[in-house]
Amino acid sequence: MKDPQEEKEGPSIQKVFESKNWNEIRSNDSWAIFKIMSEFVNGYESLARIGPCVSIFGSARTQKDHPYYALAQKIAEKLTETGYGVITGGGPGIMEAGNKGAQKGGGTSVGLNIDLPMEQEPNPYIDQDKNLDFDYFFVRKVMFVKYSQGFIVMPGGFGTLDEFFEALTLIQTYKIGRFPIILVGKKFWSGLLDWIKEVLLEQENNINKEDLDIFSLVDTADEAVAVIDEFYSRFMLKPNF
């Protein structure tokens, strides 16, 4: 009897190892380049007009009755009341909560939707003219970083961790400015942060102690928004800059 997982993955794995001649490879790569370029151009043109925004990352699987959903919605609403728009991944869960809060607060609500085989449909709280679709994760991540003045990282899975560490690495390596990164949920993030401190820093010396200052850890919506406000007050900047 075949393993269900093998049966599910088999065709996709076989497709990767299909033999192709040089002309097929070159042709496929050329079309991929045009597709990537079109996603960048569409993203740049659409997002260049949105004004100052904060990205909210988090799990697509968080249910509407979960406290984290309510917290993400409250953070987004407070951000828009303060003058910021909100950018999310455009899907359900925490992303939906972020867009819902932005819409409720009367602010800009942006959704950067990714085409996935199992779990991503645009949520209904995205501004109609700010609902973008992407095939490529890396293009989508560029849009998150390029057009955000800060990052709110709610509890999530591998995708959320990917987005958190992407922003963290770009700031650590001076590829982007030191925008605030705010982890929300001390109970959720404490295990990861303990490992970063004890293993990456103290045991292996793979990061500097100052790298831990790149992000903040909070528990409430007021604390999250206060970090953003305090950061920009030091530079005498307001949300409409």
Round to whole Å and give the CA distance between 181 and 41.
Answer: 27
Q: What is the DSSP code string of 61-90?
A: T--TTSHHHHHHHHHHHHHHHHT-EEEE-S
3-state secondary structure of 193: helix
Smallest CA-to-CA distance from 211 within 197, 192, 223, 226 is with 197
Please tell me the predicted confidence (pLDDT) of residue 32: 87
Please tell me the predicted confidence (pLDDT) of residue 241: 41
Q: What percent of the chain has pLDDT over 90?
A: 78
Question: Bridge-partner residues for 86, per DSSP?
Answer: 54, 109
Instruction: Grade residue 20 by pLDDT with cuts at 50, 70 and 90.
Output: low
**Contact status, residue 172 vs residue 164, Cβ threshold 8 Å:** no
What are the C-alpha distances in Å from 107 to residues 9, 54, 91, 101, 230?
42, 11, 18, 9, 20
Give residue limits of the domains in the chain. 18-233
Residues ≥6 apart with Cβ < 8 Å to 34: none
**Contact status, residue 192 vs residue 217, Cβ threshold 8 Å:** no
Round to whole Å and give the CA distance between 206 and 199.
Answer: 8
Whole-prediction pTM:
0.86
Smallest CA-to-CA distance from 53 within 150, 178, 160, 165 is with 150
Q: Please tell me the number of Cα atoms within 13 Å of 165 on its side-chain side.
A: 10
Among the listed ranges 8-17, 30-39, 73-82, which one has the minimum average pLDDT value?
Answer: 8-17
How high is the mean pLDDT of the chain?
89
**pLDDT digits 0-9 by tens, 22-76:** 566 556 778 889 999 999 999 999 999 899 999 999 999 999 999 999 999 999 9
Which alpha helices (H) appear in 66-157, and where do they start and end?
Answer: 67-82, 94-104, 137-146
Please tell me the predicted confidence (pLDDT) of residue 39: 95
Instruction: Grade residue 19 by pLDDT with cuts at 50, 70 and 90.
Output: low
End-to-end CA distance of the chain: 63
CATH architecture of the domain covering 18-233:
3-Layer(aba) Sandwich (3.40)
Instruction: Grade residue 117 by pLDDT with cuts at 50, 70 and 90.
Output: confident
What are the C-alpha distances in Å from 237 to residues 142, 175, 208, 231, 234?
24, 21, 29, 9, 8
Helices (H) and strands (E) counted in the chain, each on its own, are 8, 7
